[in-house]
Amino acid sequence: MDIRARDQQYNPYRIFTREQWAGLRDDTPMTLEPGEFDRLRSLHDRLDLNEVEEIYLPLSRLLSIYVDATQRLFYAQRQFLGIRDRKMPYIIGIAGSVAGGKSTTARVLQALLARWSPRPKVDLVTTDGFLYPNAVLERLGLIQKKGFPASYDLPLLLSFLSDIKSGRRGVRAPVYSHLSWDIVPNQWQEVDQPDILIVEGVNVLQTGPLPRDGQAVPVVSDFFDFSVYIDADEPVLRQWYVKRWLTLRDTAFHDPRSYFHRYAPLSDEEAIATATAIWERTNLANLEENILPTRPRATLILKKGADHVIETVALRRL
């Protein structure tokens, strides 16, 4: 995996093979039980003992170093300024394409980090909750571009992250239902002064247009202390998306409450054609226009092969 442009000699990332990365685990203990793997794994994703030992435990060790260094810098700055601000939450962003396995990575990291000693409070929020409701997307003509940057209530998301970073108590995030494919009215996830917050979403590394007047324009990643991009080649992502869609057709789509209930009777051939069309119209366009261009902004890139196994790890140089 080479992150450089074709005419660029310097690579801002250090690239590790799976074997090299696994060797960085050192003595980081395994704190997950075998029975937890199924609960943490997303549909059709891969998560087993080897994946945790060789990929996620070294990453947990690395994050512990980053968190500790950030805390020491905070206390040094506080002493320098003569202020008494409380320690700010450490925020980790996880980005990547639909069907790439972001949710698995987010849940595994939450489980591992929450078992550090002493036990930190680790919360997980997905940006799905900050999508505009379907009625709003319909009115704006954006329903076919759900998941694109314009489909999110960015001011609400930025306000949420600002409140978290400033140490506010009981900050609320909207709740999203994958069954109804919409925001759940009057339901909230409350996030109350976590030590670590994981924020997962396809476009969390997205930047905005540069202001002509030099005024500060905040973006979501301004609040991140560390970020991870889950990477895979487009044909592989397409295959995973279609496979997942076929499984949902045979399961969740049969629920009358499902937004996609009308697709439940489709034959295999019809379902594959429909899923492929959705991929090309929405998810592929979003990947090429908005998601993949943000990959070089990540602190760490996990590159997966067709079997969902993480093959290489790229860590941004300091």
| DSSP one-letter string for 145-200 | GBTBGGGB-HHHHHHHHHHHHTT-SSEEEEEEETTTTEEEEEEEEEE-S-SEEEEE
pLDDT at 5: 64
In this model, does residue 114 exceed pLDDT 70?
A: yes
What is the tens place of the pLDDT at every residue in 189-246?
999 999 999 999 999 999 988 888 888 889 999 999 999 999 999 999 999 999 999 9
For the whole model, what pTM was predicted? 0.95
Nearby residues of 202 by Cβ (< 8 Å), 6 or more positions away: 95, 96, 97, 98, 102, 127, 147, 286, 290, 291
In this model, does residue 7 exceed pLDDT 80?
A: no
What is the tens place of the pLDDT at every residue in 130-168?
999 999 999 999 999 999 999 999 999 999 999 999 999
In the chain, the amino acid numbered 104 is T
Per-residue pLDDT averaged across 242-265, rounded? Answer: 96
Backbone angles phi, psi at 290, to 5 degrees: -125, -35
Per-residue pLDDT averaged across 287-295, rounded? Answer: 97
Q: What is 13-233+299-316's CATH topology? A: Rossmann fold (3.40.50)
In this model, does residue 3 exceed pLDDT 80?
A: no
In this model, does residue 185 exceed pLDDT 80?
A: yes
Could you tell me the residue ranges of all domains in the chain?
13-233+299-316
pLDDT at 122: 98
Q: What is the mean pLDDT of the chain?
A: 94
